Amino acid sequence: MVHPTAIIHPQSRIGADCEIGPYCVIGEHVELGPGCRLHSHVVIDGHTRLGQSNEIFPFASIGLRTQDLKWKGGLTRTEIGDHNTIRECVTIHSATGEGEATVIGSHNNILASSHIGHNVVLGNWVIISMAALAGHVVVEDHALVGGLSAVHQFCRIGTMAMTGGCTKVVQDVAPYVIVDGNPAEARTINKVGLERNGVPEGAQAALRQAYKILFRDGLTTSNALARIESELPPLPEVKHLVQFIRGSARGITK
């Protein structure tokens, strides 16, 4: 299942039933789990490990050295889970500091020409649509980053959040919220995302009320969070929203 034009380092580890297409290049410290499919012209290098059943399309580049000018050498890693789709011309860079890693979970769909920068942590069931994530960005599960969006270093995008196309994200995006614009502004709760992911109607109603308190009632963030905790039921989704905002270092997109 390996095309004769592919260049595979003899020390790399290739799992069972992998398909490696024409002109792919696999480096010395690469590990591919079983059932991965590389279409053609894919480059995977560095200390990079992929789990099982990942599909990678032409001209993707994974695990190469960070673009960060702070890089001083050392062993850095790229860790990718299972069942990810990585489309054409995607770039996923290794971390910057010794012993650090860029980490991507499972069941993600990373669309053509997207960039995943150094030290990014991507959860599961995420869609990145022709967007750019700078270094140290965190994207939680079931989030959607819209086409041609750009996310600033150290920002976080919360669970089931969504950025509209061409959005400039310079602060954290709260879970379950849609943001849009340049710079980004909070628009509404991600109702469709909540429904698609099976969030109960009671939790959806609580999140709608929490959104109003946070973004529409003119309160400071600390006062809004205190009011949410005192007035809304302690559902897991509400607790996660509050904890995410309390943990924000860059502030929340409003």
Fold identical between 7-188 and 194-246?
Answer: no
Q: Which residues, in sequence order, are bridge partners of residue 102?
A: 78
Q: Look at residue 25 in the predicted model and tell me its pLDDT.
A: 98
Q: Look at residue 178 in the predicted model and tell me its pLDDT.
A: 98
Provide the 10 A C-beta neighbour count for residue 213: 17
Successive 10-residue mean pLDDT values, the chain, 254 residues: 97 98 98 98 98 98 96 96 98 97 98 98 98 98 98 98 98 98 97 97 98 97 97 98 97 97
Q: Look at residue 82 in the predicted model and tell me its pLDDT.
A: 98
Q: Look at residue 237 in the predicted model and tell me its pLDDT.
A: 98
Q: Look at residue 85 in the predicted model and tell me its pLDDT.
A: 98
Cβ–Cβ under 8 Å, residues 91 and 73: no
Q: Look at residue 249 in the predicted model and tell me its pLDDT.
A: 96
Query: What's the CATH superfamily of 194-246?
Result: Udp N-acetylglucosamine O-acyltransferase, C-terminal domain (1.20.1180.10)
DSSP state of 225: H
Q: Look at residue 120 in the predicted model and tell me its pLDDT.
A: 98
Query: What are the extents of the domains in the chain?
Result: 7-188, 194-246
Class of domain 7-188: mainly beta
DSSP string, 39-67: -SS-EE-SEEEE-SS-EE-TT-EEEEPP-
Q: Look at residue 45 in the predicted model and tell me its pLDDT.
A: 98
